[in-house]
Amino acid sequence: MRILIISDVHANIEALQALNERYDHLLCLGDLVDYGPSPREALQFLRERASYIVRGNHDMAVGYRVDCQCVPPYRELSIATREYMWQVLGAEDLAYLRSLPVNRTLELGGARWYLCHAAPSNNLYRYLPQDSPEAVWEEEAARVDADFILIGHTHQQFVKPVGQKTFVNPGSLGQPKGVGPVACYAVWEDGHVELKRIPYSYRETIAKLDRTPLPPDIRRKLKLVLEGGALT
């Protein structure tokens, strides 16, 4: 069985369309919206193709009109783009975001899976970077009965074995950090995990941002992240 794992799409349809992989299941770990220029297209793509999706903190913020609780440098961008999300998305789209579960437990390919956006202890908001203390990883792993624990939120790729369990963060498909203009994701096949990065038409995404009504400084910062993976 071949499973594609993606997270943090952030309304980037060009990154989604670059996924030219064979798969039996597509798993999405949330943050379908915010930041990017194509929320409706991204939602349609995922509703048609993803086997399972969980809610991210930005899906929560757009769907329920609450604070995203993201790190300060990006909070300004989220607040500005959220207004654009509400202009573009319809009532059905917002209801769909609200309907997404915050976690899922699955049996696929002879393995047990736990899916969430951020962490088992806090599905929406806790950041679990790869360099978190071992005690933190052990505490998080003990919370769930699963062979593979899938998380996103940090926009950075890694595989982290903890005892008999394995954490997988596929990175961000639509807005990766620190790696330039590529789409990041993971592939699981028969127990083996491969982290992948592929080019996509990011200049088209940037051109679409320029056609939005977002303030010029917000557009400039969003383009910096897409091009270089950081705000500076």
pLDDT at residue 7, as a whole number:
98
The owner of tokens 């300004």 is 76
DSSP per position, 124-138: TT----TTS-HHHHH
Distances (CA, A) of 105 to 7, 121, 125: 17, 15, 19
Question: Tell me, what's the pLDDT at 103?
Answer: 98
- Binned average pLDDT, 10 residues per bin, the chain of 232 residues: 98 97 97 98 98 98 95 91 96 98 97 98 97 98 98 97 98 93 97 97 97 96 91 76
User: Which tens digit of pLDDT belongs to each residue from 143-171?
Assistant: 999 999 999 999 999 999 999 999 999 99
Please tell me the predicted confidence (pLDDT) of residue 29.
98
Q: Which CATH number fits domain 2-111+171-228: 3.40.50.970, 3.40.640.10, 2.40.50.140, 3.60.21.10?
A: 3.60.21.10
The pLDDT score that the predictor gives to residue 230 is 82
HSE, side-chain direction, 13 A CA sphere, residue 201:
10
Report the C-alpha gap between 3 and 171 in whole angstroms: 15
Give the model's pLDDT for residue 156: 94
Q: What is the pLDDT of residue 171?
A: 97
pLDDT at 45: 98
Which pLDDT tens digit goes with each residue over 39-68?
A: 999 999 999 999 999 999 999 999 999 999
What per-residue confidence (pLDDT) applies to 229? 82
